[in-house]
Amino acid sequence: MTIRKTLLGAFLLVALAPAILLAGLAFVKARAALQSEIEHSLATQAEAISAEMDRVLFERLQNAVVWSQLDVMQDLQVQDVDRRLSSFLSRVAEGYGGVYRDLSALDAAGEVVASSAPAALGTRFAPAVPWQRFSVAGVRVSLALPEFSADGESGSVVLRTPVRSHFGDATLGELLLRVDWKQFDALLDRAAGGGRSAAVVDAEGRMVAASRSLRERGMLLGRDLAGWPLPRAAGGAFTLDGTPLGTDRVLVGVGRAAAFAGFEGPGWRTLVIQPLDLALAPVRRMAAISLLLVAALILVTLAMATWVSGKIARPVVALTEFTRHYRRDRSLGNRPPAADGEVGELAGAFVDLVEDIDASQRKLVRASKLAVVGEMSSLIAHEVRTPLGIMRSSAQMLKREPGLSEDGRELTGFIESETERLNRLVTTMLDAARPRAPRFVSLDAHRQIRQTLALLAGQASARGLSLQETLEAADPVVEADEEQLTQALLNLVMNALQVLQPGGEVRVSSADADGALAITIEDNGPGIPEDERERIFEAFFFRREGGVGLGLAIVQQIVQAHGGSIVAGVSRSGGAAFALRLPRRHEAPQ
């Protein structure tokens, strides 16, 4: 092998091996990180669904217990001769808007003597073997296994609780509540989407509720998933065989809610399922892009290595010819270039070349990380905003049409409001992808706070919410970017408004804090769980349905760019509180 081939092979090995190794390592790490994040999302979603289902079931059980103890239930002693109890049950069923299919009162012999469904009067109820038994406030309530129609889209479950006499320990009969099971299926349908499906299995492995895709497969009340090795007392995320669902491998998030108001729940587990191939599709796309970059790097490196190896070999070949000539002729020929000087220069050029290649590799890594954000920003700016603007303008023009019906005006209003919401979402994503440096000016923070509250006053009033201010800082002047500070305040107050119920309150206060200005935004809403107060500022982390998780990330970005800090905590009323600390003077970096 000639020296040129040796140098060429060594150069390619040194230049390309780290690049290929780094690309492979990046792929493995990205795959592991994405899978871990998806598993956490699945487990969190499953736990939230399980908690919501336990809460709904507990409400139904409480209703059964409370209604069974009402004075009107004592009409069972006289067989509801004046139909007062039937009228009461009808009003209750109607008042709950379809939550209950029917409410019935049975005498001690099991005959229906009062019911919200007149056709049920006089019939006998054939009790099924209880699926679950509960004790709520010392009262026994039994729950039958859900019953479903052939298509799986119509189901109900029966709750039964005894009615005791107010004048002794005698049992007058039972109160029977037939609960529409669709409300539970609806919870799972909302969780499904994007290739995900959701199901609820009981302690015996039966699927008692499922999202639409599983219901359509006829899996309700089946034990298709009973073979999965799932924990019974805890949640988590697992990679399992997807054969029962007709696929290869699946990621499964398992959730079991903690005790709710002393209610331990029925022992069911919520499963949120996503095929592994679908979950890891973004990693495969990243791998394809990485392979293209490595191929391009190989071609460039090969061309450069050929030239550099030739430059390195030329003085060595010249020196070899000089030595052969001397040994053959015993005379000096033309002197080759100075070995030390030429080799030194080539060595320096080689080192510079390697450094340039390393720098290029680092730039390629940074470019690959920013490519997604740049591509997304470009796509959103050119492919989304333009049609959104056209749709909004078209909707506004349609609203001015004289012959447009009321329904048409309502629909055009929907189009206009939704396009505006999407436009705000686009703006938020672009702000996160392309933050600009603050332009510091002296401004009155109190004036900014009042202006922010004034901008949102109409929205708050329309939802029955109140905005309050307690501005106690003696010196409200800070050096800050006026536009960015307003954006941060708007994001925080709007976040609070979006989670509050009518009657809620948002309070903004200020105070002096050792050379800095402290601003606090607090509400009396549901608050932020302690384990989420750090992660809530991460991009794409959100708890509110319909959110994207960029608002608080942008707020933190703005506050840190001003040299300040922001911390999430608990308000005095038990809701959420965000404490900002802004330096009064901006110090330029040295």
**Is the confidence at residue 339, as pLDDT, over 60?**
no
Cα dihedral 342/348/350/351 (nearest 10): 160
pLDDT at 515: 82
Place of tokens 């740049």: 374
Give the mean pLDDT of 423-446. Answer: 72
**Is this model's pTM higher than 0.75 or not?**
no
Q: Which residue has the higher pLDDT, 575 or 154?
A: 575
Burial class (CB in 10 A: 0-12, 13-18, 19+), 506: buried
Q: How many angstroms separate the CA atoms of 347 and 312, rounded? A: 8
Helix axis angle for 182-191 and 3-68, nearest 10°, is 160
pLDDT at 509: 92
Query: pLDDT-derived band of residue 310, with 50, 70 and 90 as boundaries?
Result: low
Q: What is the pLDDT of residues 507-554, one digit of tens each?
A: 999 999 888 999 999 999 888 888 777 777 766 566 665 555 667 777
- Domains defined along the chain, listed by start: 38-279 (3.30.450.20), 338-434 (1.10.287), 441-583 (3.30.565.10)
Give the mean pLDDT of 457-485. Answer: 88
Q: How many angstroms separate the CA atoms of 471 and 449, rounded? A: 9
Query: pLDDT-derived band of residue 319, with 50, 70 and 90 as boundaries?
Result: low
Q: Which residue has the higher pLDDT, 307 or 172?
A: 172
Q: What is the pLDDT of residues 436-468, one digit of tens each?
A: 678 888 999 899 899 888 888 888 888 899 999
pLDDT at 311: 63
- At 387, which helix (H) or strand (E)? helix 385-399
Name which of 67-76, 275-284, 331-340, 353-362 the model is least confident about: 353-362
**Is the confidence at residue 231, as pLDDT, over 70?**
yes
**Is the confidence at residue 327, as pLDDT, over 70?**
no
Query: pLDDT-derived band of residue 581, with 50, 70 and 90 as boundaries?
Result: very high
pLDDT at 353: 37
Name which of 11-15, 204-208, 313-317, 469-473 the model is least confident about: 313-317
**Is the confidence at residue 365, as pLDDT, over 50?**
no
pLDDT at 342: 52
CB-based contact 180:156 (threshold 8 Å): yes
